[in-house]
Amino acid sequence: AQSVTQLGSHVSVSEGALVLLRCNYSSSVPPYLFWYVQYPNQGLQLLLKYTTGATLVKGINGFEAEFKKSETSFHLTKPSAHMSDAAEYFCAVSDHTNAGKSTFGDGTTLTVKP
Amino acid sequence: DTGVSQDPRHKITKRGQNVTFRCDPISEHNRLYWYRQTLGQGPEFLTYFQNEAQLEKSRLLSDRFSAERPKGSFSTLEIQRTEQGDSAMYLCASSLVQGYYGYTFGSGTRLTVV
C-alpha cells in the first residue's frame, strides 16, 4: 500500500521568497514520485518526477525536488516565488508493480503575497 | 496532439438522474485513468484501463458507477441514480504503459447533483 502526506494544507510566501512544500510518502517498494500543479477549475499538470538515478530533479517553472530515501521525503522547492506560482500542489506516489496507479496527497495551496 | 479532452466541463443534474462523461486521451497513450476529486482533497482513484481492458476498479466505486473504453480509444464514465454525494470533479488522465512518465490530465468534469 502507498500513501502520501503533505504537511501544511496552506503555505503563504512573499513574492521573491523561497517556496518549500513538504511531502512524505510511504511505499513498500521503490517509488516513483511526482509533483503536480492545479490551477482553479483545471486539471493537474505534471511539474516534475523522480523515477531512478539523480535524486535532485528539476521541473518546469523553476521548481525542483529532492528524493531522500532515508527520510521518505520528496519536498518541492523554488528559490524565488512569483505571483503566477499561486496554485494548489499535489504530491503523488506510484510504484512499478501497481500498474502505474498513483496515490495523491491532499494538496497544499500556495499563496504568493506581493 | 491536443492533450486529454473531457466533456462536458460542467454538469448539473437532479438527484436520481443518470449522467455520462466522456474522456478522449492522448492517442499514443495505452492507459486511461478516472479519478474523483472533492474540495480540499487530492484526486482519488476510481478505475483504469489498459487499451480496452478495465484492469482495476476501486472499492470506493459503487455499482452505480460504470466505465467503458471501447476499442481502446475514448472512455465513458456513467453514474446511475445520482446522489448528492456524487458531486465532485471527475478527472480523466492518460499515460504510456510505463508508469514513470506520469499522467496527462484533462480539465475535468465538475458534477453538481441538486
Query: Could you report the per-residue pLDDT of B61-104, keeping only the tens digit for each?
Result: 889 999 999 988 999 999 999 999 999 999 999 998 766 778 99
Query: In B1-114, which ranges are continuous DSSP H helix?
Result: none
Please determine, for residue B1, whether its predicted confidence score (pLDDT) is greater than 60.
Answer: no
Q: What is the pLDDT of residue B2?
A: 73
Of B42, B43, B99, the CB nearest to A100: B99
Q: Which residue has the cell 446511475?
A: B80
Q: Which residue has the cell 512573499?
A: A14
CB A81 within 8 A of CB A15: yes
B90 touches chain A (CB under 8 A): no
The per-residue pLDDT for range A45-77, each reduced to its tens digit, is 999 999 888 899 999 999 999 999 999 999 999
More confident residue, A93 or A28: A93
Give which of B37, B38, B90, B100 to mutate to test A binding, by max A Cβ within 10 Å.
Answer: B100
Residue B4's pLDDT band (cuts 50, 70, 90): very high
More confident residue, A63 or B40: A63
B88 touches chain A (CB under 8 A): no
A69 touches chain B (CB under 8 A): no
Q: Which three cell numbers stand for residue B1?
A: 496532439
Of B33, B100, B106, the CB nearest to A32: B100
Please determine, for residue B35, whether its predicted confidence score (pLDDT) is greater than 80.
Answer: yes
Q: What is the pLDDT of residue A65?
A: 98
